[in-house]
């Protein structure tokens, strides 16, 4: 069994070593390759990887000449993994640390649910008994996604392996057969909602997503965008949420637009009350760029 792990790096000097070391400690009966795809980092993070792991043939680095975003970099890594003839591709955030048996547990779950995409149980890295995601659910009408178990202390209440509606791009194990059917991530999203769109696409193609509670991962939430309270986050969520649901909701899209208007207006009012006008500006720009069909990286 050949497993390729794709790590997208953008100025991740603080995170890469802990993530890579947790992968190298994996107790899995497989041939493992770690493909680090760099979006033109400027913090010396790739030099640090070369210095530390340059002689390790389990680690391959790909240096891009610009920051092309999360989706594009993952797609570059996926193509490398397919060329290597990986049986499964594991998309993994570099601001994570995996338990030593995580990949083995994901592999076992994948054996039980052939040709399905598998997601682990994910905790906050600084609160290792508090859940960030126990799989994802999708609301029935406006198709809003949410993390199951978010911010709950893990008392075993989410220890049942089950099919879910949404898989976070923080960690997705995808069989090569599924990649050959679905293709990669949609590169218009650049950051945020590419995993939601991919989850919707899987469902429409009849491909299941399974949550594997025995596979455990710890996540430094918000590291890639400086947290949810940033203009960067507000912009991409405002724009990409519209794009994703325009692609997949069909006749329900007008109903979603009503919900979206109420949701974003409420957020903007709260931001203004707290003196966060930059978030309001970023939201407005995101909506404008969606209307103009301007996607990819914000200029």
Can you give the pLDDT of all 299 residues of the chain as single tens digits? Answer: 999 999 999 999 999 999 999 999 999 999 999 999 999 999 999 999 999 998 899 999 999 999 999 999 999 999 999 999 999 999 999 999 999 999 999 999 999 999 999 999 999 999 999 999 999 999 988 899 999 999 999 999 999 999 999 999 999 999 999 999 999 999 999 999 999 999 999 999 999 999 999 999 999 986 554 556 789 999 999 999 999 999 999 999 999 999 999 999 999 999 999 999 999 999 999 999 999 999 999 87
pLDDT at 298: 85
Q: Name 242's bridge partners.
A: none
Nearest CA among 235, 247, 252, 250 for reference residue 288 = 235
| Residue 63 CA to its chain's centroid (Å) | 20
pLDDT at 223: 55
Radius of gyration for the chain, computed over Cα atoms and rounded to the nearest angstrom: 19
Q: CA 219, CA 9: separation in Å to the nearest integer?
A: 15
pLDDT at 30: 95
Q: Name 137's bridge partners.
A: 146
**DSSP secondary structure string for all residues of 238-262:** HHHHHHHHHHH-GGGHHHHHHHHHH
pLDDT at 204: 96
Beta strands in 134-206 (DSSP E): 136-138, 145-147, 162-164, 171-175
pTM above 0.75, yes or no: yes
What SS3 state is found at 182? helix
What SS3 state is found at 149? coil
pLDDT at 226: 52
pLDDT at 221: 85
- How many Cβ atoms from other residues are within 10 Å of residue 298's Cβ? 16
């Amino acid at each position: 069994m050949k497993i390729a792990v794709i790590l997208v790096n953008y100025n991740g000097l603080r995170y890469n070593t802990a993530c890579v070391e947790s992968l190298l400690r994996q107790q899995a009966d497989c041939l493992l390759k770690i493909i680090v795809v760099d979006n033109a980092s400027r913090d010396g993070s790739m030099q640090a990887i070369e210095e530390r792991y340059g002689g390790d043939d389990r680690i391959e680095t790909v240096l891009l000449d610009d920051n092309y975003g999360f989706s594009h970099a993952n797609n570059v890594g996926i193509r490398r993994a397919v060329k290597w003839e990986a049986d499964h591709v594991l998309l993994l955030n570099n601001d994570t640390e995996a338990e030593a048996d995580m990949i083995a547990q994901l592999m076992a779950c994948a054996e039980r649910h052939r040709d399905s995409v598998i997601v682990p149980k994910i905790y906050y890295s600084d609160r290792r008994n508090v859940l960030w995601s126990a799989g994802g659910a999708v609301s029935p009408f406006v198709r809003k996604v949410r993390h199951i178990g978010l911010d709950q202390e893990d008392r075993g209440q989410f220890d049942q392996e089950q099919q879910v509606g949404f898989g976070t791009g923080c960690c997705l194990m995808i069989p090569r057969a599924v990649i050959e059917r679905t293709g990669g991530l949609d590169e218009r999203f650049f950051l945020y909602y590419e995993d939601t769109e991919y989850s919707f696409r899987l469902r429409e193609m009849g491909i299941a997503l399974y949550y594997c509670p025995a596979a455990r991962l710890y996540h430094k939430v918000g590291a890639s965008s400086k947290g949810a309270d940033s203009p960067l986050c507000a912009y991409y969520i405002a724009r990409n949420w519209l794009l994703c649901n325009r692609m997949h909701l069909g006749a329900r899209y007008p109903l979603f637009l009503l919900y979206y208007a109420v949701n974003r207006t409420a957020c903007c009012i709260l931001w203004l009350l707290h003196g966060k006008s930059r978030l309001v500006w970023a939201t407005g720009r995101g909506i404008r760029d969606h209307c103009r069909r301007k996607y990819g990286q914000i200029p």
